[in-house]
Copies of this chain bind each other. A is one copy, B any other.
Amino acid sequence: MGYRTYLELAAPLLQGKQLITSTMTRELDRAGQAIDLALQGKTVALVSSGDPGIYAMAAVVFELARSRGLDPGPGGLPVRVIPGVPAVAAAAALLGAPLSHDFACVSLSDRLTPWELIEKRLALAAEADFVIALYNPRSKGRPWQLARACQVIANHRDPATPVGIVRRAQRPGQQVELAELATADQTEVDMQTIVIVGNSQSKVYQGRMITPRGYINKYGERKNSAAG
């Protein structure tokens, strides 16, 4: 079961399986149907892209199981979460190594979260000098959130801070772009895009976005030469 696009990506693994596709915004319906089929004795795989535990379906299944009073034992609803490569890690690998130090992930979707809380999180994450990965940066119905998020972060960070923008990471149609905080909102982003805003130490070197771990600063040229 899953959103059609995700099942198409997994097609080589799905031969001979019963497939149930659904649309993107019916998460509760999909989870409910998966639970019903599992309770009938079927082995059901609910497919997310990326990691199923990060802004994805795993929590929806557990929330629904809880609201129905189901337990994870035999005869109840045994659930196993299979971890995957999160979109943020897939995107970071294409940019270079922007996530090598402390980072925060924030979704800009205010469908289930009040915008005030999102903005508070962005401001505090910026003040803490976290690398900030933005999920769901823009949709047709939410055109303004990315510009506002960049403004909030810019209160604590240089306008020239590098920003990596990755669309459809590691999939057909992949696009990788580097920008700066001051102008990142003018790039083409959508719901399949991850935007990674560097911290105060992040830099771009020959097309790669890097957040140093600090070895060179700490050990300098001596260790560096020894390593060579």
Contact = CB atoms under 8 A, between A and B. Distances in A.
A148 interface: no
Contacts of A218: 112
A214 B128 contact: no
Contacts of A215: 27-28, 60, 63, 112
A93 B100 contact: no
Contacts of A58: 93, 96-97, 100
Given A85-B51, A224-B32, A213 B112 contact: yes
Nearest to A77: B206
A219 B25 CA distance: 12
B210 A59 contact: yes
Interface in A10-66: 27-29, 31-33, 35-36, 51-56, 58-66
Interface stretch (A1-9, A102-110, A139-147): A102-110
B100 A53 contact: yes
Given A105-B102, A215-B112, A224-B32, A72 B206 contact: yes
A96 to B, nearest CB: 6
Interface string A83-107: 1111001101110111111111111
Contacts of A55: 100-101, 213
A170 interface: yes
Nearest to A87: B83
Contacts of A224: 28, 32, 64, 67-68
A53 B125 contact: no
Q: Which of A56, A101, A104 has most B Cβ within 10 Å?
A: A104
Interface of A: 27-29, 31-33, 35-36, 51-56, 58-68, 71-72, 79, 81-86, 89-90, 92-94, 96-107, 112-113, 117-118, 120-121, 124-125, 127-130, 170, 205-208, 210-216, 218-219, 221, 223-224, 226-228
CB-CB nearest 4 A-B residue pairs: A32-B227, A59-B100, A59-B97, A112-B214
